[in-house]
Amino acid sequence: MVASGLAALATAITAHPRDARALDFEVQSDTAAQAYQVASPWGDTILDRRRLMQTLSLGVYNLQGDHVPGRADFAVVLRVRLDADFGINGHLGDADRGGETSYLTEAGPGVRFVPGLQQAPVDLMYAYVEGRNLLNGWLGFRAGRQYVVDSLGWWSFDGALARVTTPYFVQAELYGGLEQRGGLPLSTSRYERPGVWRGNHAGFGTAGDQPSVTDFPSYQYTQPAPAFGVSLESNGPSWIHGRLSYRRVYNTGTSVTQQFPDPTGGYRTAKGLRVSQDRLGYALDLNKSDLGAIKGGVTYDFYNQIVGSYYGGVEAYLGKRATVGADIDYFVPTFDADSIFNWFTKSPITTATARVWVAPTQRLDLSAYGGVRIWMADGDPETFGTEQCRASGLCSGDQEIDPSNSKTFTRDPDNREISTTIDALANVSGRYRFGTGEVGLRGMMQAGARGHTGGADLSGEKRFDGGRYRVGGRVSVYDWNDPLRPDRGATSFGYVLGAGVRPVQQADLRIEWEHDMNRLVGQRFRIVALLNLRLGG
Amino acid sequence: MMMNASKRSSVSARKTRRPSGRPLPGWLAFVACLSALVLGLVGPDASAQAADDAPPAESAAPPPAPPPGGYKSGLYPMPNDAETPLAFMPPGSAATPVPSEEIYPPQTITIRFNHKKHTKDLKQTCKSCHAAAFTSDKVADRLMPKAEQCDACHDVDHSDLHDVKAGTDANGQCVFCHIGDKAGEKGSVAPMVLPNANLVFTHKKHLDRNIQCGQCHGQVGELELATRDQLPRMAGCFSCHNMSGAAQGQAKGACTTCHTARNDGRMITSFTTGNLVPPQWMHNAAHTPDFIERHKSVAANDSAFCGSCHTTNECTDCHDGRVRPRKVHPNDWLSIHAQSARQDNPRCASCHQAQTFCGDCHRRVGVARDTGSGNRLTGRRFHPPAAEFTTAPRGPNHHAWEAMRNLNACVSCHTERDCATCHATKGLSGGHGVNPHPIGFRDKCGAAFARNPRPCLVCHQSNDPFVRACQ
């Protein structure tokens, strides 16, 4: 309905005589059809995926009339998406027909049911009106569903954002609204913090033919999540840029807490306004164009009271065609404040690498980096004793804490010393570009106590007739092994063949065929067809 | 003195070639017409032959030949194609030694010209030849001098480009300036090809603000030939154009101040000569082959900078994507991804919400623990045996170590209930009382409980002494 309305609007707009229009329009349609099979980890082919994704974008720019650089301008943009999988329920027989999306089947209630799973969800990816360069460049705004991208991540909300740009090397942003959450109308869960499984409980109830919240106590009700944020950002000098960001999001409404029923069969809940995330981030970039650069960023999680991540790097420019550098990345998993996982013992993952980039010619450039990934654990797995819990005087067994014991629990510090394991990792990538095509290579390796993954892709594309026709291919070999699951190790060989045509400037069609093979799943095929249409712009 | 004399004679000769403006005498015109009529009657070709065969009065003396080996000066910026000192190059050349082909498409320069001689020896200014620059307000304006302008000093007549008349002096011969063995042969020379820059630029505004030529083009007066190398570099532009928004003043710093723009305000980046990408030094955003792994630091710092060229759609294709991007996930990703998640490479949470994106599929295929009974795969277990991986005592392969090292991987399949089975307190909370909290938890739990008590109440009863201690 929305899509057809937009299409009609787009047609009406683009049919308008060009000379008479005061506005600029762009309408874009992206269609992706995919068919492939998903096998279980043991090789059984159990899901047929028949996916159709259709997005439709509309942009109306320069609502004020002719664009004058530096003067105020206004725009409206939106993008809607249908992401259907007609393979959902497709593999089920008569007894449990429709069971993945319907609770009640002949085979019994809920035997195949996946709460929140939808066959053809539609979401509004973004839709906002924007004003820029208002008040002589001091003010800008956005109102509607929009993204915010900064050191706190890729995030979406419904609301308004105001940006004040001053002549004093700083600009500020202030925004507020509701976080986009899965289960709300025209929304996805992509932008929620991890750790909590939320969704739409439509159809849930207490009747026997309905799923009950107590059947899925971890599946939380989606409720509107008020959010706000502020940022200060440097503005002006090209050799330095920094952004300080703060964001807070609240959870509201009722949430099931207790995961198991009490003696009366009831489940306890928590209600009211509570923090979902409360984080501060800063990112900085310094560069001297003939020397090199320094970059860095850090986030602090006020709820977890820890530095959640940081990264940094230095680069030296060895002429125009070579760069060397070193980077570090530190990350501790943090979750939505409703999640218990915040308070599980968890350790940072630290990655340190050195990097080089060279471009021997204008057509050829190569990058490579290598380093280590450091894993940490609270204690040494090899020496951790079975007596630890018992020795504390709190446990009724080897590891089980007696909740009736009020004694302060302290683990033996000797067994809480940090132990580390290290993976070696390396990555190499390169490309050779010629006038009508490109050849690319990407290889990676990561190996350590947690197993190894390694492999490479060789890809190429050739364009004909000024880009009207394209053919491409990709060959890959990957090998992996996990000591915890030795039966899951395999070597995979795969190839992709693709062809595309651009019959007119506004249309682009591409078809790809993928064939992968490994000992776990045998042969597997995937076909992808992509059609992009664009008018205006 | 000799030069002045030579110049006078050249000018005199040129004047004699040019029409004086006086009509031919009547009797001479009559004789000429009559002769032509007679010759035309004898044979149509005869008249033309007669005209062609009649040697011009001045062709008796051969034109001066170039020196042996040809002219040497003005062929390159520096004599003998020596490297141009950085001090003579446009500002910003240290960062960008060679100008971008996307901005300045390749040129074909078919003349030699010695700027140094003209400015130092002959005391000419930039404006002497490039006066058009002082009134130019767009890149499509022609700023090179017309050939006729050279005639003021050179012994040649370019007034009719279809019939250029070389003089007798060496400096008036075609090969004196035009390059090529056959320059001037049959009246033709190789054309100059100077494509417009893919920019928005007004020379007039800059010159009106007393920004001199050398501030953008470098010390052209110290060079012989000016080439693409003498075109401005972006790093040089940034010495003034480094502000944006309200701070921008006269030298606006927005990308589209200089770069051509689309209707939505983004830069046009695709040109016949290639795709425009940021230079190495700009925001650490060189689009190297490994940029896909590095781009997060650029976007985290200044996503608006990314938005100068990229649409939001390009970001969401991966970050909220529904078609697997091959540049991120290789072939056979369905088979590989479990090990990649375990090795945190790439980090799943960058693009996926684990509980839904990962969980929905894992529940369907029976990998997740809370999958429906019909989806469970009998006799199959994803993890090592329970005695080794799940239950006490905690050996080297116990899940506790994996959870501590990479809790995100656990969360992609497991919900709270799976973990609360053991880690919740005993009694009403339904667990086995296995404490998962880290060292230092007691110092933090008070503030955490005040902000959000919900996770505490998943595993503890509200009257639990541990919870009370945190309240």
Q: Which pLDDT tens digit goes with each residue over A332-384?
A: 999 999 999 999 999 999 999 999 999 999 899 999 999 999 999 988 777 77
- Token output for B277: 């990408």
Average pLDDT, integer, range A442-468: 95
- Token output for B124: 């000419």
Average pLDDT of the residues of chain B: 84
Chain B contact present for A274, CB below 8 A: yes
Tell me the shortest Cα–Cα distance from B135 to chain A, in angstroms. Answer: 21
Chain A contact present for B335, CB below 8 A: yes
Contacts of B233 in chain A (CB under 8 A): none
Contacts of A39 in chain B (CB under 8 A): 334-335, 365
pLDDT value of residue A71: 85
Instruction: Write down the H helix ranges in B59-158.
Output: 115-116, 126-130, 147-150
Torsions phi, psi for A84 (to 5 deg) = -100, 145
Between A335, A341, A474, which is nearest B326 by CB? A474
Q: Are the beta carbons of A61 and B265 separated by less than 8 Å?
A: yes
Q: How far apart are CA B310 and CA B285, in angstroms?
A: 13
If phi over 0 gives left and psi between -120 and 50 gives alpha, with beta otherwise, what is residue A217?
Answer: alpha
Kindly list the distances between the CA atom of residue B330 and the CA atoms of A362, A526, B326, B450, in Å, as whole numbers in the listed order.
27, 13, 5, 45
For residue B40, the 8-state DSSP code is H
Closest-approach residue (CA) in chain B for A257 = B458
Contacts of A226 in chain B (CB under 8 A): none
Q: How far apart are CA A179 and CA A162, in angstroms?
A: 17
Tell me the shortest Cα–Cα distance from B358 to chain A, in angstroms. Answer: 11
Q: Are the beta carbons of A236 and B247 separated by less than 8 Å?
A: yes
Chain B contact present for A485, CB below 8 A: yes
Our measurement of the distance from residue B239's CA atom to the centroid of its chain's CA atoms, rounded to an integer in Å, reads 18
What letters, b where the CB count within 10 A reaches 16 and e where it falls short, cover B114-141?
Answer: bbbebbeeeeeebeebbeebeebeebee
Torsions phi, psi for B425 (to 5 deg) = -70, 160
Chain A contact present for B398, CB below 8 A: yes
Q: How far apart are CA A287 and CA B112, in angstroms?
A: 39
Closest-approach residue (CA) in chain B for A496 = B331
Between B245, B293, B353, which is nearest A165 by CB? B245
Average pLDDT, integer, range B428-456: 90
pLDDT value of residue A164: 95
CA atoms within 13 A on the CB side of A138: 4
Contact (Cβ atoms closer than 8 angstroms) between residue A453 and residue A444: yes
Contact (Cβ atoms closer than 8 angstroms) between residue B278 and residue A287: no
Tell me the shortest Cα–Cα distance from B79 to chain A, in angstroms. Answer: 24
Q: B229 by DSSP, 3-state: which?
A: helix
| pLDDT tens readout for residues B87-136 | 999 999 988 888 989 999 999 999 999 999 999 999 999 999 999 999 99
Closest-approach residue (CA) in chain B for A214 = B417
β-sheet bridge partners, residue A33:
A52, A529
pLDDT value of residue B451: 96
Q: How far apart are CA A280 and CA A231, in angstroms?
A: 9
Contacts of B97 in chain A (CB under 8 A): 319-320
Q: Are the beta carbons of B404 and A217 separated by less than 8 Å?
A: no
Q: Are the beta carbons of B245 and A133 separated by less than 8 Å?
A: yes
Average pLDDT, integer, range B416-440: 87
Chain A contact present for B123, CB below 8 A: no
Q: At residue B277, what is the residue type? A: V
Tell me the shortest Cα–Cα distance from B421 to chain A, in angstroms. Answer: 8
* Residue A230: pLDDT over 80: yes
Instruction: Write down the H helix ranges in B320-436.
Output: 333-342, 359-365, 386-389, 399-405, 407-411, 416-423
pLDDT-derived band at B355, boundaries 50, 70, 90 = very high
Contact (Cβ atoms closer than 8 angstroms) between residue A399 and residue B393: yes
* Residue B2: pLDDT over 60: no
Note if the pTM is more than 0.90: no
Q: Are the beta carbons of A218 and B364 separated by less than 8 Å?
A: no
End-to-end CA distance of chain B: 103
- Token output for B30: 């009559």
pLDDT value of residue B24: 53
- Substitution target in A81, A149, A350, A388 with the highest count of B β-carbons within 10 Å is A149
Tell me the shortest Cα–Cα distance from B428 to chain A, in angstroms. Answer: 6
Q: How far apart are CA A382 and CA A379, in angstroms?
A: 9
Say what percent of chain B tops pLDDT 70: 85
Contacts of A34 in chain B (CB under 8 A): 323
Chain B contact present for A16, CB below 8 A: no
Chain A from 45 to 104: CB within 8 A of any B CB: 46-47, 51, 53, 55, 57, 59, 61-62, 67, 69-70, 73, 75, 77, 79, 81, 83, 96, 99-100
Between B433, B453, B455, which is nearest A402 by CB? B433
Chain A contact present for B320, CB below 8 A: yes
pLDDT-derived band at A403, boundaries 50, 70, 90 = low
- Token output for A536: 């205006």
Count of CB atoms within 10 A of residue A176's CB?
15
Average pLDDT of the residues of chain A: 89
Single out the residue of A145, A201, A151 nearest to residue A175, CA to CA.
A145
Q: How long, in residues, is chain A?
A: 537
Q: How far apart are CA A239 and CA A347, in angstroms?
A: 35
pLDDT value of residue B53: 45
Closest-approach residue (CA) in chain A for B273 = A435
Chain A contact present for B414, CB below 8 A: no
Chain A contact present for B245, CB below 8 A: yes
Contact (Cβ atoms closer than 8 angstroms) between residue B416 and residue A259: yes
Q: Are the beta carbons of A425 and B384 separated by less than 8 Å?
A: no
pLDDT value of residue A498: 98
Contacts of A331 in chain B (CB under 8 A): 344, 347
Contacts of A73 in chain B (CB under 8 A): 265
Our measurement of the distance from residue A282's CA atom to the centroid of its chain's CA atoms, rounded to an integer in Å, reads 20
pLDDT value of residue A439: 97
Chain B contact present for A33, CB below 8 A: no
pLDDT-derived band at B10, boundaries 50, 70, 90 = very low
* Residue A487: pLDDT over 90: no
CA atoms within 13 A on the CB side of B128: 12
pLDDT value of residue B432: 80
Give the helix/strand (H/E) hosting A274.
Answer: strand A274-288
Q: At residue A19, what is the residue type? A: D
Strand A274-288 relative to strand A240-251: parallel, antiparallel, unpaired? Answer: antiparallel
* Residue A393: pLDDT over 80: no
Chain A from 198 to 257: CB within 8 A of any B CB: 198-199, 216-219, 233, 235-238, 241-243, 251, 255, 257
Contact (Cβ atoms closer than 8 angstroms) between residue B76 and residue B230: no
Tell me the shortest Cα–Cα distance from A7 to chain B, in angstroms. Answer: 18
Q: How far apart are CA B182 and CA B162, in angstroms?
A: 17
Chain A contact present for B312, CB below 8 A: yes
* Residue B38: pLDDT over 80: no
Contacts of B288 in chain A (CB under 8 A): 323, 357, 365, 367
Q: Are the beta carbons of A446 and B345 separated by less than 8 Å?
A: yes
Contact (Cβ atoms closer than 8 angstroms) between residue A169 and residue A234: yes
| pLDDT tens readout for residues A121-130 | 999 999 999 9
Report the range of poorest mean pLDDT among A20-24, A217-221, A238-242, B455-459: A20-24
- Token output for A402: 């007696």
Please report the ipTM that was assigned to this predicted complex: 0.89
Average pLDDT, integer, range A463-473: 94
Single out the residue of A357, A520, A365 nearest to residue A439, CA to CA.
A365
Torsions phi, psi for A133 (to 5 deg) = 60, 35
pLDDT value of residue A493: 97
Q: Are the beta carbons of A411 and B382 separated by less than 8 Å?
A: no
Strand A306-317 relative to strand A292-301: parallel, antiparallel, unpaired? Answer: antiparallel
* Residue A286: pLDDT over 70: yes
Tell me the shortest Cα–Cα distance from B44 to chain A, in angstroms. Answer: 50
Chain A contact present for B239, CB below 8 A: no
Contact (Cβ atoms closer than 8 angstroms) between residue A489 and residue A483: no
pLDDT-derived band at B370, boundaries 50, 70, 90 = confident
Average pLDDT, integer, range B351-371: 91
Report the range of poorest mean pLDDT among A140-154, A203-217, A520-534: A203-217
Tell me the shortest Cα–Cα distance from A474 to chain B, in angstroms. Answer: 9
Q: How many residue pairs bridge chain A and chain B with CB atoms within 8 Å of each other?
A: 518
Q: Are the beta carbons of A492 and B367 separated by less than 8 Å?
A: no
Q: How many helices (H) and strands (E) does chain A have?
A: 2, 28
Q: Are the beta carbons of B288 and A367 separated by less than 8 Å?
A: yes
Kindly list the distances between the CA atom of residue B58 and the CA atoms of B32, B155, B183, in Å, as whole numbers in the listed order.
21, 14, 20
pLDDT value of residue A137: 86
* Residue A515: pLDDT over 90: yes
Kindly list the distances between the CA atom of residue B430 and the CA atoms of A260, A406, B386, B419, B420, in Å, as whole numbers in the listed order.
6, 19, 20, 11, 8
Q: How far apart are CA A530 and CA A508, in angstroms?
A: 8
Residues 6+ apart with CB under 8 A from B162: B187
| pLDDT tens readout for residues A289-317 | 889 999 999 999 999 999 999 999 999 99
pLDDT value of residue B279: 87
Q: How far apart are CA B101 and CA B349, in angstroms?
A: 39
Q: Are the beta carbons of A166 and B393 separated by less than 8 Å?
A: no
Our measurement of the distance from residue B71's CA atom to the centroid of its chain's CA atoms, rounded to an integer in Å, reads 36
pLDDT value of residue A69: 76
Tell me the shortest Cα–Cα distance from A445 to chain B, in angstroms. Answer: 10
pLDDT-derived band at B280, boundaries 50, 70, 90 = confident
Give the helix/strand (H/E) hosting B457.
Answer: helix B454-459
Chain B from 446 to 465: CB within 8 A of any A CB: 447-448, 451-459, 464-465
pLDDT value of residue A399: 54
Q: At residue B30, what is the residue type? A: F
Between B290, B393, B404, which is nearest A377 by CB? B404
Average pLDDT, integer, range A510-514: 97
Q: How far apart are CA A135 and CA A458, in angstroms?
A: 52
